[in-house]
Amino acid sequence: MPLLQMQGAVNELSFDLVRKDGQRVPVLLNTVQKKDASGKTLFHRTTLFDITDRRNYERELVLARKRAEEATRAKADFLSMMSHEIRTPMNAIIGLSNLLGQATLPPLYQEYARILQSSSENLLVLLNSILDFNKMEAGKLMLEERRFDLRQLLHGLCSTLSVKAEEKKLSIRVEFDPEVPNALLGDPVKLGQVLTNLLGNAIKFTEQGAVTLAVRRLHGDAEGVFLGFKVSDTGMGIPQDQLTQIFEAFTQASYDITWKHGGSGLGLAICQKLLALHGSKMRVESVPGEGSSFAFDVRLKIASGAVALDAPAEDLQDTQTLQGLKVLVAEDTAVNVFVLSQFLRRWGVDFDVVENGRRAVEQVQARPYDLVLMDLQMPQMDGCEATRLLRRLPGERGRHLPIIALTASALLGTDAQVADAGFTDVIGKPFMPRELFAKLALHGSRLGAAPRARSGEAPPCQERGASEAAGGGPRFDLEKFKSLAEGDRSAEIELNTLAIGTFEKQKQDLRKALEAGNVEAFDFHTHQLKMPLALMKPRVLLKALDQGRKLIEMPGSQASRLRDVIRTIHEELDAIVDALKEDVREKAGVPVHRVGPCTSMWD
């Protein structure tokens, strides 16, 4: 009534009436107050509407939405679980094809092995495309930000795709604007995924001529730069009425294209979603019979300093770095155990195998290991629970033992689950031998002498360019650390690149632990650096870490002293990282061909 007196009307008040038989009837009430000329209320006119049908309709809409969300979740879980089931046999196929490729075989069988390896890797690309789309649909795919060299990224992409181009006698041209900065901050993996898809499509649908990748600096400032990318081909082209259709999921321009060229029809849909994460959108122009061009613009931040380059894809040869490393393998799938054991034996690793997490915990308590390879999904006790138990073991063994997760799971949230469980690192299945080797070399906690020099080689000397410490002598020595790769250039680059990522992450983690006065966290992150620092012997850094450990144990430590220690730790780690990056650049730096500004590519 107060509302009615104030407003003179009440509109669409919803409530339930109860009939004599107890049944509730939803109604909608409208009331209007009528007054005379003096303002005295004459009467109220009230209308009640039976809204049973409306309520039922709203309830059906809510249920339909709930069912749709449940169906989407079920689809995502199904795809993720199927991914795990597919990845398990694929791990064997890719692993064994790599072993065949390294064996001495007659030429015909070498070709069989090459085709098997190429086909299995193509199947993995298709599987990853479906999973990426699944993550995007669930809104779980996020952009990362890290330093990278765009020229090196493009060179790697073109080198990888050049094999397919050469099979069709096509040329790949890269037109690179010299105004594009060398060091950038962004997500090179997702940017590379977009470009790989566009270049792969261009090669797939072009029978003669060339494929051109052009990169141009559009505009920018001191902090960031807008770059334009364009991939053009001289292929079959796309009819105008189908240009929008090609960006729909699981769709291609025609059935004939799917039949002749293959593919899932997911590539461009994924590209469009990845570009949306960058705040960009794909533009396409095409003339049937003449070719197509796909273009997009992205803004990237400018990074300072040199950037570590990725390792070229080369096989490991004569690797003896891991000989004597004691590894526990916790894996319940026989074929995965077989593949792992072939590589571990080849590298001289001393390893034991258990079939579940419970046995892994028992085995670690019974025998000292340098490292554990832990599958996530195992009977009786999974890898995450086993890792949590190992981290809670008394003493230093469980707390600092490197534990690498082996996972074929693509379930959303797996990354967070692995991090929360306390794993040191993760390797996805199917794994590439070089990745497995590099992570074993990086995390294996052997602090003895570095591997012996090869026969006829001079003893390792101190790293050139390592600046002198105040007390005289080099601040660190990279030679013993780099000798883990036994002279293999590809393995050395991979090892250095992994070390760079580890140092840059631990630098921030150590700072947070010192500022928070968290002794346990500081000890954990220091231990993550134990193996590489023992080989590099960074005198100034080790002294600063020791000072930091003492400071956080002291009640009421001076903030200025703590800041000085943090600054020293950062400076010394940065010096090591810069030296590693320079070494990687010297061994893998092949510049992308530049032809000057490509202004003609964007009319």
Q: Please compute the mean of the pLDDT values over residues 208-231 and round it to a whole number.
A: 90
The residue to which tokens 């096509």 are assigned: 170
300 located within any domain: yes
- Same domain, residue pair 246 and 356: no
282 located within any domain: yes
139 located within any domain: no
pLDDT of residue 524: 75
Residue 260 pLDDT grade (very low, low, confident, very high; cuts 50, 70, 90): very low
Q: Which residues contact 198 (CB under 8 A, 6 or more apart)?
A: 231, 271, 294
Classify residue 378 as exposed, middle or buried by CB count within 10 Å of its CB (0-12, 13-18, 19+).
buried
pLDDT of residue 201: 87
| Domain count within the chain | 4
Mean of per-residue pLDDT scores for the chain: 76
Q: Please compute the mean of the pLDDT values over residues 141-150 and round it to a whole number.
A: 79
pLDDT beyond 50 at 413: yes
341 located within any domain: yes
- Same domain, residue pair 338 and 268: no
* Mean pLDDT lowest among 65-74, 228-237, 258-267, 433-442: 258-267
412 located within any domain: yes
Q: Of 443, 468, 503, which one is at a domain's C-terminal end?
A: 443
β-strand 146-149 against 183-186: which pairing, if any?
A: antiparallel
- Same domain, residue pair 295 and 362: no
Alpha carbon separation from 39 to 36, 44, 424, 577 (Å, rounded) = 5, 14, 80, 85
pLDDT beyond 50 at 598: no
Q: Per-residue pLDDT tens for 23-75?
A: 899 998 888 888 888 878 788 788 888 999 988 998 899 999 888 877 777 77
- Same domain, residue pair 157 and 278: yes
pLDDT beyond 70 at 258: no
CA 253 to CA 239: how far, in whole Å? Answer: 8
pTM of the prediction?
0.45
- Same domain, residue pair 362 and 484: no
Which CATH number covers residue 388? 3.40.50.2300
Q: Per-residue pLDDT tens for 541-582?
A: 888 888 888 888 776 656 778 888 888 898 889 889 888 888
* Mean pLDDT lowest among 247-251, 324-328, 512-516, 561-565: 247-251
Torsion of CA 192, 195, 200, 202, to 10 degrees: -170
119 located within any domain: no
180 located within any domain: yes
- Same domain, residue pair 171 and 300: yes
* Mean pLDDT lowest among 215-229, 240-254, 322-336, 510-524: 240-254
Q: Please compute the mean of the pLDDT values over residues 436-453 and round it to a whole number.
A: 60
Residue 452 pLDDT grade (very low, low, confident, very high; cuts 50, 70, 90): very low
CA 299 to CA 305: how far, in whole Å? Answer: 19
Residue 291 domain boundaries:
146-307
Angle at 468 between CA 467 and CA 469, to 5 degrees: 120
pLDDT of residue 358: 94
The residue to which tokens 């270049």 are assigned: 199
Which CATH number covers residue 43? 2.10.70
